[in-house]
């Protein structure tokens, strides 16, 4: 139900997530996340994500906070209209923006 | 601490010490053990005083002081009082000077009371009905001396008038006087120097009763605090949306409450003002957001619309049970003392006091939080000219802090800090509600050996023998104390039963707690209803907390799909079912995504908080409903508002995960929750369908 293809280019790591990010698949995402070390930037490509709920949002937040602790930034890309709107509703984009500006 | 206060405190101690030295030598060493035991009871009670729902404290320790006076004598009673004062020193880390003052204060009080008692013919160990007037007088003297000594101390420490404090404490004293009188009378009457069993049982019982009472009230107060907190969270949610400083309503609520308390309004009035203050801006949620976010001046039209928020707010609050009074306060909180406000242009005392209080608190909070130039205190004082009630301006200037960021929590405590320490110890004299008294109903003491007997060895009839005898039997066999609630199936009365084994006998105390339980339930029910109404109102009817009866109609209609929820995989299966149904109904794109999202949230919640659940998709033609029921322990309702925005993700097991999303995306969410399980109904209106919910 979920595949996370990882590709690394120097200091940038890309997670290309495919499928659904919910309570059933979130453990796989978290597992992949714990192995992230020694990068400056993590790009989470959501273009192949068909569905995502607040459990999935929780996982993405964890990625963002982990980046805070381990010194990498997180970039979200490829969201479809619905997911983008959802992110906006729950304020995840605002959190990212604030972190990028260096305030918290 | 000013010199004069110190001198006063030390003088009281010195006088008390003199009295102690005078009386102590005549103590009977044989009675010391008994006196110390009672002192222990009294000391513990004083430490763990009962907090009544109105916030006042009552310990009941002086019951033991007087029981000691009646049964053993003045020197022994003096021992009890000293121990109580020392308990305060040990457990509450009171400054030495105040401990000494307390010792002096108690010693003088009981010495005066004891002397009066003896002078009127009372003698230790032989209390009888004829001594009641002596006891009454003595207790009166005790309270009088105590009250005077304390009032002067508090007045000196806080620079307030002695008389005012004296009168303030007087109204509490009446109730304490009666409770202390009745209970010490009771202990005095059953005391026989040769046969003390009944006396000690009853003393222990009163002690336990007070502890139990404390626990019950504490639970209730906690509950109330939790609900209040979650109501505050709801207002925060609206504020965030409207770009009002978050926490404004909560702070205004607390300051308004403090003002109302200072004005010595009745408790119900204080509550009404507090709630009204909490919701004073709730109507803004219904006025166009852009108006409140606009930075520049408003156009005439916008101004008119903006002003409507008081009427809308009042309307919303009026629908909340028990807050009808608060509704007017919301309506008039923008009126001005000089008559220049809205909606009616009332002036002076025409404006209800509650509304004036809220206006004062509201202005105070806004002044401190806007970044404009100028001294906020001066600017606030100027409002007394024609905006606010001058008397309230003065009061705010007195109790609130203008220099720092107003953490109201802090400011509300600060002015009383100095007195607090002395006050904790005078709290033995603070109580306002007679609930306690009414609930102190029937109680029974018995000894169980071959049958039930009273303390004198007479055989007595015991209610509920069939249930109680086995418990007493077990206590004896296992030589273990047993405490159990027993219910009388015929009368519905609930008893709190204690069994204490002692050699071959078991001492029993049986206390009727039906009244207390009912009282608690009633309070809980009241808060629940209030909470339900508030939620309904602030979510503009979108979130309905329903009981089983109310939710039933929502789960009827044609069933289009069904699935069971047991494992994580079922979340996807449920979505699939819903997805198919939506497609067959021609619902696509955004609406479809929203419904799938909310279904996912609810089903996920089932997996997190219950073992098993069931989802159904139904329609009555006008609405599509996703109904998810589980067998879990129920949702803690106070958790719901915490799940707003990101807050819900930070706590790992958030009960209300995703609820704010559901409220935003669904037309209505109906929840029924209890210990038998939770049912959540997600409702969307179908296009072309009728609208029966507006």
Residues 6+ apart with CB under 8 A from B311: B283, B331, B343
pLDDT at B609: 81
Q: For B241, phi and psi rounded to 5 degrees?
A: -65, -35
| Residue predicted with more confidence, B672 or B55 | B672
Is the pLDDT confidence value at B248 over 60? yes
Q: Is the CB of residue A17 less than 8 Å from the CB of residue A2?
A: yes
Q: Average pLDDT for residues B592-618, to the nearest whole number? A: 91
pLDDT at B455: 60
DSSP string across A16-73: EEEEEESTTTHHHHHHHHHT--S-SEEEEEEEEEEEE-HHHHHHHHHHHHHHHHHT-E
Residues 606-635 of B with CB under 8 A from A: 607
Residue of A nearest to B572 (CA): A24
pLDDT at A103: 45
pLDDT at B456: 62
> Whole-angstrom distance between the N-terminal and C-terminal Cα of chain B?
63
Instruction: Give the tokens for residue B79.
Output: 């021992």
pLDDT tier at B192, thresholds 50, 70, 90: confident
Is the pLDDT confidence value at B631 over 70? yes
Is the pLDDT confidence value at B91 over 60? yes
Residues 6+ apart with CB under 8 A from B274: B253, B254, B256, B257, B260
Query: Which residues of chain B does CATH 3.30.450 include?
Result: 440-516
The label of the residue with tokens 């049958």 reads B451
Q: Say if the Cβ atoms of B646 and A92 lie within 8 Å.
A: yes
Q: Is the CB of residue B590 less than 8 Å from the CB of residue B648?
A: no
pLDDT at B571: 93
Q: Average pLDDT for residues B154-167, to the nearest whole number? A: 72
- The DSSP symbol for B298 reads P
Chain B hits for A26, CB-CB cut-off 8 Å, are none
Average pLDDT of chain B is: 79
C-alpha to C-alpha distance for B474 and B493, rounded to whole angstroms: 23
pLDDT at B644: 40
Name the CA radius of gyration of chain B, rounded: 31
User: Touching check for B601 and chain A: CB below 8 Å?
Assistant: yes
pLDDT tier at B651, thresholds 50, 70, 90: very low
Minimum-distance CB partner of A53 among B601, B660, B664: B601
Is the pLDDT confidence value at A22 over 70? yes
Q: Which residue, among A23, A28, A92, A98, would best test binding to B if mutated, counting the most B CBs under 10 Å from its CB? A: A23
Q: Say if the Cβ atoms of A22 and B597 lie within 8 Å.
A: no
Chain B hits for A85, CB-CB cut-off 8 Å, are 590
Minimum-distance CB partner of B646 among A55, A85, A90: A90
Q: For B50, phi and psi rounded to 5 degrees?
A: -80, 130
The label of the residue with tokens 């336990």 reads B208
Q: Say if the Cβ atoms of B646 and A53 lie within 8 Å.
A: no
Q: Which residue, among A53, A84, A104, would best test binding to B if mutated, counting the most B CBs under 10 Å from its CB? A: A53
SS3 sequence, B11-35? HHHHHHHHHHHHHHHHCCHHHHHHH
C-alpha to C-alpha distance for B679 and B628, rounded to whole angstroms: 6
Q: Average pLDDT for residues B180-194, to the nearest whole number? A: 86
Is the pLDDT confidence value at B243 over 70? no
Q: Say if the Cβ atoms of A89 and B661 lie within 8 Å.
A: yes
User: CB atoms < 10 A from the CB of B81, how many?
Assistant: 31
pLDDT at B582: 93
Minimum-distance CB partner of A86 among B571, B597, B646: B597
pLDDT at B251: 86
pLDDT at B684: 93
What's the maximum distance between 2 C-alpha atoms anywhere in chain A?
A: 36
Instruction: Lowest mean pLDDT of B25-29, B145-149, B650-654, name the range.
Output: B650-654
Per-residue pLDDT tens over the stretch B354-398: 999 999 999 998 888 776 667 888 888 888 888 999 999 999 888
Is the pLDDT confidence value at B438 over 70? no
Is the pLDDT confidence value at B288 over 80? no
pLDDT at A31: 93
- The DSSP symbol for B283 reads G
Interface confidence: ipTM more than 0.90: yes
Cis amide bond preceding B676, omega within 30: no
| Residue predicted with more confidence, A48 or B642 | A48
The label of the residue with tokens 């404490």 reads B169
Element (H, E) at B110: helix B96-119
pLDDT at B181: 87
pLDDT tier at B80, thresholds 50, 70, 90: very high
CATH 3.30.70.2860 fits B542-685, yes or no: no
Size of interface A-B (CB pairs under 8 A): 53
Q: Average pLDDT for residues B396-420, to the nearest whole number? A: 50
Q: Say if the Cβ atoms of A24 and B590 lie within 8 Å.
A: no
- pTM of model > 0.80: no
Max avg pLDDT among B320-329, B463-472, B618-627:
B618-627
User: Touching check for A82 and chain B: CB below 8 Å?
Assistant: yes
Query: Which residues of chain B does CATH 1.10.1760 include?
Result: 3-193
Q: Average pLDDT for residues A79-83, to the nearest whole number? A: 91
Q: For B234, phi and psi rounded to 5 degrees?
A: -60, -40
User: Touching check for B596 and chain A: CB below 8 Å?
Assistant: yes
Is the pLDDT confidence value at B417 over 70? no
| Residue predicted with more confidence, B505 or B170 | B505
Fold of B440-516: Beta-Lactamase (3.30.450)
pLDDT at B52: 57
C-alpha to C-alpha distance for B386 and B339, rounded to whole angstroms: 8
Per-residue pLDDT tens over the stretch B476-534: 888 887 878 888 887 777 777 878 777 778 877 777 777 666 666 666 676 677 777 77
User: Touching check for A22 and chain B: CB below 8 Å?
Assistant: yes
Q: For B421, phi and psi rounded to 5 degrees?
A: -65, -45
C-alpha to C-alpha distance for A67 and B101, rounded to whole angstroms: 59
Q: Say if the Cβ atoms of B568 and A86 lie within 8 Å.
A: no
CATH architecture assigned to B3-193: Orthogonal Bundle (1.10)
pLDDT at B504: 79
Query: Which residues of chain B does CATH 3.30.565.10 include?
Result: 542-685
pLDDT at B138: 93
Which domains are seen in chain A, by residue range? 2-100 (3.30.750.24)
The label of the residue with tokens 């955004």 reads B590
pLDDT at B640: 60
Secondary structure class of B274 (helix, strand, coil): helix
Work out the percent of chain B whose per-residue pLDDT is above 90: 23
Is the pLDDT confidence value at B219 over 80? no
User: Touching check for A23 and chain B: CB below 8 Å?
Assistant: yes
Per-residue pLDDT tens over the stretch B444-491: 667 788 788 766 667 777 777 888 888 888 888 888 878 788 888 877
Give ∠ CA B101-B104-B105 in degrees, rounded to 5.
80
Secondary structure class of B574 (helix, strand, coil): helix
CATH homologous superfamily of B244-403 equals: Hypothetical protein af1432 (1.10.3210.10)
Instruction: Give the tokens for residue B32.
Output: 């010391």
Give ∠ CA B494-B638-B225 in degrees, rounded to 5.
70
Query: Which residues of chain B does CATH 1.10.3210.10 include?
Result: 244-403
User: Touching check for B597 and chain A: CB below 8 Å?
Assistant: yes
């Amino acid at each position: 139900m979920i595949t996370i293809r990882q590709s690394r280019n120097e200091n940038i790591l890309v997670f290309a997530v495919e499928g659904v990010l919910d309570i059933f698949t979130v453990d796989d995402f978290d597992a992949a996340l714990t192995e992230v070390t020694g990068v400056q930037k993590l790009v989470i490509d959501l273009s192949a994500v068909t569905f995502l709920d607040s459990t999935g949002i929780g996982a993405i937040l964890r990625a963002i906070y982990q980046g805070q602790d381990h010194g990498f930034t997180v970039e979200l890309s490829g969201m479809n209209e619905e997911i983008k709107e959802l992110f906006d509703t729950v304020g995840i984009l605002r959190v990212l923006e604030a972190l990028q500006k260096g305030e918290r | 601490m000013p010199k004069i206060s110190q001198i006063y405190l030390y003088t009281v101690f010195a006088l008390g010490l003199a009295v102690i030295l005078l009386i102590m030598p005549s103590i009977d060493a044989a009675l010391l053990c008994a006196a110390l035991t009672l002192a222990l009871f009294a000391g513990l009670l004083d430490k763990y005083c009962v907090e009544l729902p109105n916030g006042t404290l009552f310990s009941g320790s002086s019951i033991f002081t007087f029981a000691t006076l009646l049964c053993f004598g003045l020197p022994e009673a003096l021992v009890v009082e000293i121990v109580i004062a020392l308990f305060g020193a040990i457990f509450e880390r009171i400054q030495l000077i105040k401990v000494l003052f307390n010792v002096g204060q108690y010693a003088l009080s009981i010495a005066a009371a004891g002397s009066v008692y003896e002078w009127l013919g009372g003698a230790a160990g032989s209390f009888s009905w004829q001594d009641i007037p002596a006891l009454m007088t003595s207790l009166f003297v005790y309270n009088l001396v105590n009250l005077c000594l304390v009032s002067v101390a508090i007045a000196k420490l806080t620079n307030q008038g002695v008389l005012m404090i004296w009168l303030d404490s007087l109204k509490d004293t009446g109730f304490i006087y009666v409770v202390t009188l009745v209970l010490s009378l009771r202990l005095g009457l059953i005391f026989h120097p040769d046969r003390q069993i009944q006396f000690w049982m009853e003393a222990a019982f009163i002690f336990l009763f007070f502890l139990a009472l404390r626990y019950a009230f504490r639970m209730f107060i906690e509950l109330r605090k939790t609900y209040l907190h979650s109501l505050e969270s709801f207002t925060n949610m609206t504020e965030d949306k409207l770009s009002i400083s978050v926490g404004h309503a909560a702070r205004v609520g607390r300051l308004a409450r403090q003002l109302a308390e200072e004005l010595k309004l009745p408790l119900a009035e204080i509550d009404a003002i507090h709630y009204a203050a909490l919701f004073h801006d709730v109507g803004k949620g219904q006025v166009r957001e852009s108006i409140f976010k606009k930075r520049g001046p408003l156009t005439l039209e916008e101004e008119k619309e903006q002003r409507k928020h008081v009427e809308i707010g009042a309307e919303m609050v009026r629908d909340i049970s028990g807050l009808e009074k608060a509704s007017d306060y919301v309506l008039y909180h923008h009126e001005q003392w000089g008559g220049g406000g809205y909606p009616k242009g009332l002036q002076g005392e025409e404006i209800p006091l509650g509304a004036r209080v809220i206006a004062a608190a509201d202005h105070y909070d806004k002044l401190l939080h806007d970044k404009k130039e100028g001294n906020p205190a001066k600017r606030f004082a100027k409002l007394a000219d024609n905006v606010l009630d001058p008397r309230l301006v003065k009061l705010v200037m007195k109790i609130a802090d203008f220099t720092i960021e107003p953490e109201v929590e802090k400011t509300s405590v600060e002015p009383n800090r100095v007195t607090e320490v002395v006050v904790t110890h005078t709290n033995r004299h603070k109580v306002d509600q007679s609930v306690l008294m009414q609930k102190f109903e029937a109680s029974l003491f018995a000894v169980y050996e071959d049958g039930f007997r009273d303390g004198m060895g007479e055989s007595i009839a015991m209610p509920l023998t069939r249930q109680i005898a086995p418990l007493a039997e077990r206590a004896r066999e296992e030589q273990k104390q047993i405490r159990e609630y027993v219910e009388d199936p015929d009368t519905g009365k609930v008893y709190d039963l204690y069994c204490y084994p002692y050699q071959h006998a078991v001492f029993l105390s049986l206390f009727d707690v039906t009244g207390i339980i009912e009282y608690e339930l009633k309070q809980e029910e009241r808060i629940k209803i209030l909470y339900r109404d508030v939620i309904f109102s602030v979510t503009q009817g979108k979130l309905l907390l329903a009981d089983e009866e109310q939710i039933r109609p929502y789960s009827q209609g044609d069933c289009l799909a069904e699935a069971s929820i047991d494992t994580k995989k079922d979340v996807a299966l449920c979505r699939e079912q819903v997805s198919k149904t939506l497609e067959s109904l021609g619902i696509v794109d955004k609406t479809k995504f929203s419904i799938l999202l909310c279904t996912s949230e609810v089903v996920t919640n089932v997996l997190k908080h219950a073992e098993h659940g069931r989802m159904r998709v139904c329609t009555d033609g006008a609405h599509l409903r996703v109904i998810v029921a589980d067998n879990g322990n129920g949702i803690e309702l106070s958790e719901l508002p915490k799940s707003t925005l990101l807050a819900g993700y930070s706590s790992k097991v958030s009960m209300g995960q995703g609820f704010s999303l559901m409220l935003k995306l669904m037309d209505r969410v109906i929840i029924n929750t209890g210990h038998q399980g939770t049912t959540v109904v997600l409702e969307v209106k179908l296009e072309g369908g009728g609208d029966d919910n507006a």
